Structures are given as C-alpha cells and as structure tokens.
Amino acid sequence: MINKPLALLVVPPVYDFALFDLFIKPYSLLKLGKVLQDSGYRVDLVNALDYREQKSIERLGRPPRKSNGTGKFFRQITDKPGILRETVAGTPARDYFRYGIIEEVFAERLRAREPDVVLVSSGMTYWYPGVQEVVRIIRKSFPRVPVILGGIYASLCTEHAKKLSGADFVVSGSAFPRLVEILASLSLPVPRGGHHEEMLLYREISADAGVIRINRGCPFNCSYCASWHR
Ligand code: SF4
C-alpha cells in the first residue's frame, strides 16, 4: 500500500586501513527492519558493503571472495583523518581506504526514494566517518527526514556521535525500546512489543552466508566492548 511509511535502513561505508569480511552482517539493523515491516512500514536497504554492485565492479574490479562467504570488499584509497597522518618514526606509511560501493552509486541509492525515517547502523567506533558520509548525503537530499543512529559506535561513543554524526537521534544499547519512543515522538507507527528475533533477508546480504544468534551479551563487562551495552 502506497501510504505506508517508508523506513530506509543504511549500512555505512567503512573507513579503515584494512577490512576483511569474516561474516560482517547487519544483523540488528535487519532485525529492526523486520519489526518495522511487521508494523506496517515499507522497508528499503542501502548497503554500502554490497560486494556484488555492478558499477563498482566495472570501476574497481570484482573483490576476491571465497565460497564460504568471506572475502574482500570494494576499496579506494582516501585521505587519512588528521590524527592518523603522522607516522611513528621507523614505521612504514600505510594507505587508508574507503571500503564500500563507489560513492556515486551509494548516493544514488540513498536518494532513490524519499523515506519517512532513516535508520543507520554503526560498527567500530573509529569508523564514524562512514556514518557522517551517510548523514551528509541524506541531509542534502532530504533535510527534514529524521535520521536515527544505533550500533556499536553509537553505544560506546554516544556523546561523540551526538555531537559529530549529524544524526537526529543517537541510540545507545538495545535499540528497540528507544526506537518505539522515537517513532511515537515523530507520529509514525509504533512497533508492538514482544520477541523480535527474525531478520529481513536480502540476497546481497545472505546469499553466500547467513547469520544465527545463539546467545546475547557476555558475563564480563570490558569497558571498550559493546557486548554489555544491552
Ligand atoms: S571484550 Fe566484550 S565479549 Fe570479550 S570478554 Fe569483554 S565484554 Fe565479553
């Protein structure tokens, strides 16, 4: 039905010195997507880490992948953030990369349809430039569309994310309860409570390898880890 609100799920590109896919899957984001779909939303996914994207293959070549679902992503050398420009004496300078589909295709996909709400995932804390890229593109095309950021960076560096990500809402820890409050405040349909363990399935995410969660959290609480931010 055309009058259903549209939720856009976004997996940002990664900025890092190295990245290898050992089953990197946006599990929590796709779980939230399923909850939203079951609550009357249309759901789109834009995945910067799609390693099958055709224009990126034409420009950068096909990333080497293994039949077990692991492998490399598209990558392009990019400028290092200021703090990483100086090399420690005696260590070789290393290239810094943007991992993901080419920017032009990524931006096209983000702008394809105006959403009612955008949910952005985040991984390692120092990958925040990828989050900033997403928010910058969304803001330019859809300045009034609310952007909600969750995930590991949002949980471990919440204040940094509030100041620098550009997102309207930064969710720390388990996203579901806060998501309900945020959607209610935006007068959007609110998901029902209960157990939400199913995730949306997309070929580009799950064709080579799937993901099953067999436990949640950890009995320890190392300060640098997001496991215990539940
Ligand atoms: S790093 Fe995280 S997962 Fe590992 S022991 Fe510490 S809290 Fe648990």
pLDDT in tens, the chain (230 residues): 568 999 999 999 999 999 999 999 999 999 999 999 999 999 999 999 999 999 999 999 999 999 999 999 999 999 988 877 776 666 778 899 999 999 999 999 999 999 999 999 999 999 999 999 999 999 999 999 999 999 999 999 999 999 999 999 999 987 788 899 999 999 999 987 766 788 999 988 988 998 888 887 788 888 778 776 55
Domains plus CATH for the chain?
6-16+23-52+102-206 (3.40.50.280)
Residue in the block written with tokens 């899957």: 25
Distance from the CA of 222 to the center of ligand 1, in angstroms? 6
225 CB within 6 A, ligand 1: yes
What distance lies between CA 60 and its chain's CA centroid? Answer: 22
What pLDDT does residue 7 have? 97
28 φ/ψ angles, rounded to the nearest 5 degrees: -65, -40
Q: What is the CA radius of gyration of the chain?
A: 18
Phi, psi of 59 (to 5 degrees): -80, -40
ipTM surpasses cut 0.95: yes
**CB of 222 sitting under 6 A from ligand 1:** yes
pLDDT score, position 66: 96
Supply the pLDDT for residue 81.
83
Q: Which residues contact 201 (CB under 8 A, 6 or more apart)?
A: 30
Q: How far is the CA of 225 from the centre of ligand 1 (A)?
A: 6
